[in-house]
Amino acid sequence: MRLPFLFKLIPFLIFLVVQACSSRNYNVEMKPKPVAKVTNTKKDSVAVPVMKPDSLMRSSQEDSVKRPSLETAPPAAVGGAKAPVKEEKKKKKKKKNVFLGYKTRKGVARSGSGKSAVIETFSYLREFKEPSAYAPAKYYYHVRRKKIFKGRTIDPKVSKILHGPYKKMQGGKTLEEGFFYIGTKHLRWEKYNKNGILTGKSHFEKGFPRDAKITYYDAAQQKVKEVIPYLNGKVEGDYVKFRPDGLLEWEGQYEEGKKVGEWIEYWPFRNRRRYVFQYPETAYDEPVEPYLLREYNRNNSLIYEKGKLDKRGQEK
């Protein structure tokens, strides 16, 4: 009686075995589950599939992974890249113009036009400083007239004291160059002709020619009496003579051992001009007797000018 019952259970057991085996097979028609997209953030790390590339591929990938980009690099890395740029800017910052201990500025003076225009480039003191009272010649730039002058009296309101490199050019060629020190010629000066050939050179020490003969009133050599300029064994350049109190008595210019141009005698107070005598313009002009060109009274008023004015009889 039991065998027929077992035969009836065999189909049911076979069905269970088939169902169990079918559950272990993959369903080809089944769609893969969607994979969640991974977004890069500063905190999340990028998932990189494990591969076995060759040596070249490995080195390039390692470099690309190690090298930070603007998108993935942290703020510290991006900000740090700007630091060297700032340091370079600081290094490239121009130094202040300083010549022999004094701050200077650059200037340009022009005269004439076209190819014959003369251009003077120079430096001047930022702050006014009076040149030495004993300087044979003083140079300054007049702001209003836009020219460089040589004179004894300087107005601080409209004058800039020359100090530093100087160059005079015409048609792109240098005619003269040198240095100034607080309104006086200093160090080496050179002159050239229009063909660029050196025609003369001289050396100065704060206004005084290097080979000048200087005499003093005192043993300490503080009060200058007379400055006779010498160049190559000849009297050449600016001549000055002072009174014991330091005021100017005479000034003029020598060329090739001869007096040239205007020679001025001063009143014994305030460095005011009294007589102006005219000599030949250059040492190569025909020699003539000097003559009185102008005369000034004690108030610095012009009372005589040759061929134009004569008020000397009106003076008390």
- SS3 call for 164: strand
132: which DSSP letter?
A: P
pLDDT of res. 240? 96
Distance of alpha carbon 264 from alpha carbon 300, whole angstroms:
13
Distance of alpha carbon 152 from alpha carbon 188, whole angstroms:
23
Q: Among 63, 69, 72, 70, which Cα is nearest to 44's?
A: 72
Domains of the chain, by residue range, sit at 96-208, 211-315
The set of residues, in sequence order, having a beta carbon less than 8 Å from that of 114 and lying 6+ positions away, is none
* pLDDT, tens only, 162-209: 999 999 999 999 999 999 999 999 999 999 999 999 999 999 999 999
The whole model's pTM is what? 0.65
Q: Compute φ and ψ for 131, nearest 5 degrees.
A: -65, 165
User: Which tokens is 285 given?
Assistant: 């002009």
- State yes or no: pLDDT of 63 exceeds 60: no
User: Could you tell me the CA-to-CA distances from 240 to 39, 225, 233, 246, 262 in Å, in that order?
Assistant: 90, 8, 18, 11, 13
- State yes or no: pLDDT of 76 exceeds 60: no
* pLDDT, tens only, 200-241: 999 999 999 999 999 999 999 999 999 999 988 899 999 999
User: Could you tell me the CA-to-CA distances from 203 to 230, 237, 286 in Å, in that order?
Assistant: 10, 11, 29
At which residue do the structure tokens 């121009």 appear?
94
* pLDDT, tens only, 10-28: 777 777 766 665 555 545 4
User: Could you tell me the CA-to-CA distances from 130 to 53, 177, 267, 301 in Å, in that order?
Assistant: 81, 23, 21, 25
* pLDDT, tens only, 250-268: 999 999 999 999 999 999 9
Q: What percent of the chain has pLDDT over 70?
A: 72
Distance of alpha carbon 139 from alpha carbon 183, whole angstroms:
5
